[in-house]
Amino acid sequence: MDIGSTAQEKAGLFAGVKALPGELKAKITSFAKSFTKLGQDDPRRVTHSFKVGFALSLVSLLYYARPLYDGFGVAGMWAVLTVVVVFEFTVGGTLSKCLNRGFATFLAGGLGLGADYFASLFGKKGEPIVLGILVFLLAAAATFTRFFPRMKARYDYGVMIFILTFSMVAVSGYRVDELVVLAHQRLSTIILGGATCMLISIFICPVWAGEELHKAVASNLEKLAIYLEGFGGVYFLSCRDEGSGVDSKDGSGKSLFQGYKSILNSKNSEESLANFARWEPGHGRFRLRHPWKQYLKIGALARQCAYHIEVINACIGSDIQASEEFKSKIEGPCSRMSAECGRALKALATSIKTMKDPSSVKSNVENTKAAMKDLTFALQAASIENADFLAIVPAATVGSVLVEIAKCVEKISEAVLELSERAHFSKTVEPTVSPEKPQQLLHRGIIRPVSDATGDVHDGNVVITVHEISTDSPENEKVDQHGVPKPDQV
């Protein structure tokens, strides 16, 4: 009977679980799903979690193993605290916190001991008063320095630990007589905890902040490229097929059209990555003094480009739509310009990713400029025919913002070129250049690739016929597809 009743109870329990309100069930399922997705999106998150668990288990050995415990005493607790507080996702973050914590503890400990000695000169009654004043003044001054933007960015954690340690040493010195022993114990356990974190974060599946920044900037350029490469097709084609430009907004290209939005607010994350990257030792393809600041410059230009795209998007979604006739007139140069911009950005992204010389992009930039000229001609041609001016303005606006984007892309290519020089990207010899004359063309001291699209080699003399070719659009398109190496193949 007993068994029967428990079986019944079990059945009841199961029924209860089954009868769980649908909402709660759905919530749990969605939570589990987002949990799994979080891990799938970036498996390094799972690795990081296990690394933290491992580091904590390791330092708790300080407590379990008797010899170590006898050496460190309760101060072993500080190792646990250090691991929890200091372990960050990126190596740079961990190193920055470890070093900040180490130096701040050392400095503040020394100062605290000094303050204790100084206060003891004032006798038993004066000591707490002097110590109180010292703590007040130092804490206030140190807190104020945290408002300096540069301090905040790099040493904020250090200053906090400085205040913490100083107050603790100064205050507890009044009670604990073996202060030096205590300080020594605490410092050595902090170093132990910090070293554990540093070693684990560097040697077990490291996530380098520098590499993250490097990848993030390249992927931002790619997102812009995807938009610009697809733009011409969606803007001009959808209007032609369905007679309304608004469709381009919620059409098939929607997901592609939204990628750039994440760039708009990328400043903070890029800056913090660059800050962390400075603390990292040389790793992989990056030397110790890699020009991380240059990435911020490229990132700022990419944001500028994204602002322009945001405005173009607003204009496309506007109620006033351009006349189809005028649109078809500027379609050629506009599509070509945006496609060339896209190609140039893709090539630049690939150049950053592979750390190879980006000079092959020069031809894309030249093509963009040529398309800009074509647009000028198209506009001049339109002015002769004189359609309804009002219907022309929206498309003209899109064209003229595209021109601004093209200028932005040119600036980005210059910034990437500067990066490639300062970071010593590997130079590639273009396969289209005859091997015995690899450096025929020099442009601003940079090797400029000679491809079929930009010139022909006749007996060592290079004839550049960029603009003539460019105005002849169909041929130029063909040459681009075959002559200029696509960025994906670089």
Q: Which of residues 294-313 bind a copy of itself (CB under 8 A)?
A: 303-304, 307-308, 310-311
Q: Is 71 in the site for a copy of itself (CB under 8 A)?
A: no
Does residue number 137 form part of the binding site for a copy of itself (CB under 8 A)? yes
What distance in Å separates the CA atoms of residue 239 and residue 246, rounded to the nearest whole number?
8
Pick out residues in 340-379 that bind a copy of itself (CB under 8 A).
376, 379
- Alpha-helix runs per DSSP H in 121-148: 123-145
Kindly identify the residues of this chain, within the stretch 76-115, that bind a copy of itself according to CB under 8 A.
77, 80-81, 84-85
Rounded CA-CA distance 234/253 in Å is 7
**H or E, element range at 461:** strand 461-464
Q: Which stretch binds a copy of itself (CB under 8 A): 4-12, 127-135, 349-357, 444-452?
A: 127-135
Task: Check binding of 143 to a copy of itself (CB under 8 A).
Answer: yes
**Contact residue for a copy of itself among 110, 118, 156, 172 (CB under 8 A):** 172
- Minimum separation from the CB atom of position 484 to a copy of itself (A): 27
Contact 195, 201 (CB under 8 A): no
Smallest distance from the beta carbon of 103 to a copy of itself, in angstroms?
17
Quick one: which of 322, 332, 335 has its CA closest to 387?
A: 322
- Specify the 3-state DSSP secondary structure of 283: strand
When binding is defined by CB under 8 A, the residue of 99, 111, 164, 195 that contacts a copy of itself is 164
CA distance 83 to 101: 11
* Stretch of residues binding a copy of itself (CB under 8 A), selected from 141-149, 234-242, 290-298, 348-356: 141-149
Applying CB under 8 A, which of residues 98, 115, 168, 217 lies at the interface with a copy of itself? 168
Least distance in angstroms from the C-beta of 397 to a copy of itself: 4
Residues in 394-453 at the binding interface with a copy of itself, rule: CB under 8 A: 394, 396-397, 399-401, 403-404, 407
Q: Binding to a copy of itself by residue 216, rule CB under 8 A?
A: no
The yes or no reply on residue 64 touching a copy of itself (CB under 8 A) is yes
Q: How far is the CB of 402 from a copy of itself (least distance, A)?
A: 11
Q: Quickly list DSSP for 52-117.
A: HHHHHHHHTHHHHSHHHHHHHGGGHHHHHHHHHHH--SSHHHHHHHHHHHHHHHHHHHHHHHHHHH
Select from 59-67, 113-121, 422-430, 474-482 the region that touches a copy of itself (CB under 8 A): 59-67
Report yes or no: 449 and 364 within 8 Å, Cβ to Cβ: no
Contacts of 218 (CB under 8 A, 6+ apart): 349, 350, 352, 353
Among 74-82, 247-255, 289-297, 465-473, the segment contacting a copy of itself (CB under 8 A): 74-82
Q: Which residue has the tokens 């219907």?
A: 391
Closest alpha carbon to 340 in 233, 225, 234, 448: 225
Q: By CB under 8 A, tell whether 334 contacts a copy of itself.
A: no
CA atoms within 13 A on the CB side of 318: 16
Interacting residues with a copy of itself between 3 and 32 (CB under 8 A): none
Per CB under 8 A, does 147 bind a copy of itself? yes
**CB closer to a copy of itself, 345 vs 395:** 395
Q: Which is nearer to a copy of itself, 5 or 268 (CB)?
A: 268
**DSSP string covering 233-267:** IIIIIHHHHHS-TTHHHHSTTHHHHHTTHHHHT-H
Other beta carbons within 10 Å of 296: 17
CB of 374 to a copy of itself, least distance (A): 13
Q: How far is the CB of 57 from a copy of itself (least distance, A)?
A: 5
Which of the ranges 172-180, 242-250, 345-353, 467-475 carries the binding residues for a copy of itself, by CB under 8 A?
Answer: 172-180
CA-derived radius of gyration, the chain: 32
Q: Which of 12, 53, 126, 281 binds a copy of itself (CB under 8 A)?
A: 53
Q: Which C-beta is closer to a copy of itself: that of 75 or that of 447?
A: 75
Q: According to CB under 8 A, which residues from 267 to 296 bind a copy of itself?
A: 267-268
Residue whose CB is less far from a copy of itself, 328 or 400: 400
* Residues 232-252 as b or e (16 or more Cβ within 10 Å = b): bebbbbbbeeeeebebbbeee
Note the residue count of the chain.
Answer: 490
Dist. CA 104–CA 96, nearest whole Å: 12
